[in-house]
A and B are shown apart, each in its own frame.
Chain A
Amino acid sequence: MIINGVAIDETFAEAFPMKGTRLIITAHNAKWAMISAQAFTGFATSVIACGCEAGIERELDPSETPDGRHGVAILIFAMGGKGLAKQVETRAGQCVLTSPTSALFAGIEGEKEMALGQNLRFFGDGFQISKVIDGKRYWRIPVMDGEFLTEEKTGVVSAVGGGNFLVLAESQGQALAACEAAIEEMKKIPNVIMPFPGGVVRSGSKVGSKYKALNASTNDAFCPTLKGQTKSDLSPEVESVMEIVIDGLTKEDIDEAMKVGIQAVCDLGVENGIRRISAGNYGGKLGPFHFHLQEIMA
């Protein structure tokens, strides 16, 4: 398959089941809601070392938030419910509770629930106040700028993590421009995040390493400087490869995000140095979710 001169590999991205939740952070204004959300979703690019993958889904108008203030919706994913709960609690405690004027709410209902402010309330040292409003329990925790308001629980849903595609270009600048264009479009899709910096990964990994202590290492087949040293998957004209990783609430959400992302890259076309679109997988042996590039773009 070739779109606008860009070859779409006959391959697939392999993704895994995860557990996820959506949280809503509100604040005195949009600036501080975003600052808190960015702090919460920091160092959350990959479960390999961060314990979770998180990102900003979108900004919310005051009309869309529980307390009528400016807000940000974030999605956070982990490999299991326990790990997710730990990450949510730690990050909420250090990045939202601490953030001026913030409040924290559940943004999704799930088959199960997990603690959100349930344990953060103890920061109130006995001065915390519970309020049950419309069947939901909230905690009012006295803090130095007033009160931190947080919902007690948030929903946990089954999700999908690790959808991806690779952009193979003639230069680093062209690969980056293509990925930026893709991210711009993918941000418009609900229920997904691209957890890496700016949504783009330049250090895609393969499973395993020559070093026993590491369970992942550089994806040498897609490293352009190793074309003559390893079993490369790159043609001579490809000088830079970048990857976009997508986590989403459902497979369909990731399908849609990959489609608009790849389309945005292909719209730039071969005249802008984009040569191929590929994807990362492990032979289909590890992840139950397979995103076949040519099917998505058909």
Chain B
Amino acid sequence: MSALTLTLKTVPTQRIDCSPLTPDALQDHSLANIAAIELSVGNTMQRVDALFDITDGDTSEIQINNSHAKLDFVGRNMQSGSITTDGDIGAYTGIFMEGGELTINGDSGIYTACEMAGGQIKVNGNGGDFIGGARPGYKNGMTGGTVIITGNSGDRTGDHMRRGFILIEGNAGDYCGSRMVSGTISVLGDVGAHLGYGMKRGTILLTQMPSQGITANFNDCGSHTLAFLPLMFASFKKLDSQFAQVEPFSRVQRYAGDIGGIGMGEVLVKI
């Protein structure tokens, strides 16, 4: 059975909260029921069939066509199944996600994978700011799962991140790994200013020295062969990502910081 397909009828003028449209929430719903679900659009409520053309299909696989940067909360609380969007997507994509796969064939907005706990989000494009972060005012960011950004990520990637992987195939913006508590961020490209600002624990793995160098609040711990890296690269092999093609390495220069805080985080740079 093919996927349940939702095709956005027009470019939205207001932001649309798509959180009810997950495989788990739509399970066992008839097409009529799905059509009648009301979504928050700006300060109004509108039926799904008023916003989308619906093609019946397997609710465990949802395809959103003509998606737009004003579609927010796609995949919220998702636990299983898959959602694929054809086009950009808005803010808070995959917030509270616990399982399943979310694929964005376009750019994602701010707070992608916000407080995500499991599953996989792949953005075949650029990611916004605060990927894997915590909601404003909250201190626990992403606690599990994997985020892959094939393009570049915005600022504050992994802010308050606690567990899981954020894999950036392109460049990361400023403050990458800021206030990070644990988990792993890896960037194949360059990273912006203030790398690891306020980082407590966790790992930022880089395949090249940042063009702006390592910030002064990280201390050089020397070059090392770390046994966990081959295990990590082996786990990347199953991913549909450039990270699966990265030649495994275990020799890295290790920098510890942010020494303005507890200084237990690390930036590892391939040597």
Chain A's closest residue to B266 (CB) is A129
Q: Chain B 177-199, CB within 8 Å of chain A: the 1/0 string?
A: 00000101000000000000000
Among B28-36, B68-76, B103-111, B230-238, the stretch in contact with A: B230-238
Task: Say how far A86's CB is from chain B's closest CB, in angstroms.
Answer: 26
A103 to B163, CA, bound (A): 23
Task: Say how far A192's CB is from chain B's closest CB, in angstroms.
Answer: 28
Whether B231 lies near A138 (C-beta < 8 A) is: yes
Q: Chain A 37-74, CB within 8 Å of chain B: the 1/0 string?
A: 00000000000000000000000000000111100000
Cβ contact of B184, chosen from A103, A131, A147, cutoff 8 A: A131
A100 to B230, CA, bound (A): 19
Whether A131 lies near B203 (C-beta < 8 A) is: yes
Among B56-64, B92-100, B167-175, B221-229, the stretch in contact with A: B221-229
Whether B264 lies near A140 (C-beta < 8 A) is: no
Whether B228 lies near A140 (C-beta < 8 A) is: yes
Q: Is B160 an interface residue (CB 8 A)?
A: no
Whether A131 lies near B232 (C-beta < 8 A) is: yes
Q: Is B201 an interface residue (CB 8 A)?
A: yes
Cβ contact of B227, chosen from A126, A132, A134, A147, cutoff 8 A: A147
Task: Say how far B19's CB is from chain A's closest CB, in angstroms.
Answer: 27
Q: Is A88 an interface residue (CB 8 A)?
A: no
Whether A147 lies near B230 (C-beta < 8 A) is: no
Whether B228 lies near A132 (C-beta < 8 A) is: no
**Chain A residues whose CB sits within 8 angstroms of the CB of B266 once the complex forms:** 129
Known: A127-B264, A129-B266, A130-B182. A149 touches B235 (CB 8 A): no
Interface centre among B184, B225, B231, B234 (most CB of A within 10 A): B231
**Chain A residues whose CB sits within 8 angstroms of the CB of B231 once the complex forms:** 66-67, 133, 138, 149
A149 to B229, CA, bound (A): 10
CB contact list, A107-131 vs B, under 8 A: 126-127, 129-131
Q: Is A236 an interface residue (CB 8 A)?
A: no
Task: Say how far B31's CB is from chain A's closest CB, in angstroms.
Answer: 36
Task: Say how far B202's CB is from chain A's closest CB, in angstroms.
Answer: 9
Cβ contact of B228, chosen from A69, A126, A127, A133, cutoff 8 A: A133
**Chain A residues whose CB sits within 8 angstroms of the CB of B235 once the complex forms:** 133-134
Chain B's closest residue to A26 (CB) is B227
A131 to B205, CA, bound (A): 13
Task: Say how far B204's CB is from chain A's closest CB, in angstroms.
Answer: 13
Q: Which range contains the number of B residues in contact with the other chain?
A: 10 to 19
Known: A131-B184, A131-B203, A131-B232. A67 touches B264 (CB 8 A): no
**Chain A residues whose CB sits within 8 angstroms of the CB of B164 once the complex forms:** 132
**Chain A residues whose CB sits within 8 angstroms of the CB of B184 once the complex forms:** 131
**Chain B residues whose CB sits within 8 angstroms of the CB of A130 once the complex forms:** 182
Whether B226 lies near A147 (C-beta < 8 A) is: yes
A132 to B235, CA, bound (A): 11
A67 to B229, CA, bound (A): 9
Chain B's closest residue to A131 (CB) is B228
A131 to B184, CA, bound (A): 8
Q: Is A283 an interface residue (CB 8 A)?
A: no
CB contact list, B203-251 vs A, under 8 A: 203, 224-228, 230-232, 234-235
A247 to B228, CA, bound (A): 32
Chain B's closest residue to A126 (CB) is B264
Task: Say how far B74's CB is from chain A's closest CB, in angstroms.
Answer: 25
Chain B's closest residue to A138 (CB) is B228
Whether B163 lies near A132 (C-beta < 8 A) is: yes
**Chain A residues whose CB sits within 8 angstroms of the CB of B163 once the complex forms:** 132
Q: Chain A 16-36, CB within 8 Å of chain B: the 1/0 string?
A: 000000000000000000000
A181 to B231, CA, bound (A): 39
**Chain A residues whose CB sits within 8 angstroms of the CB of B201 once the complex forms:** 129
* Pairs of residues from A and B, 6 with the lowest C-beta to C-beta distance, nearest first: A149-B227, A134-B235, A133-B235, A103-B227, A68-B230, A67-B230
Residues of B in contact with A (beta carbons under 8 Å apart): 144, 163-164, 182, 184, 201, 203, 224-228, 230-232, 234-235, 264, 266
Beyond contacts A132-B144, A133-B235, A147-B227: 17 other A-B pairs, Cβ-Cβ < 8 A, are A67-B228, A67-B230, A68-B230, A69-B227, A126-B264, A127-B264, A129-B264, A129-B266, A130-B182, A131-B228, A131-B232, A133-B228, A138-B228, A140-B228, A146-B224, A147-B226, A147-B228
| 17 CB < 8 A contacts A-B | A66-B231, A66-B234, A67-B228, A67-B230, A68-B230, A69-B227, A103-B227, A127-B264, A132-B144, A133-B228, A133-B232, A133-B235, A138-B231, A140-B228, A146-B224, A146-B226, A147-B227
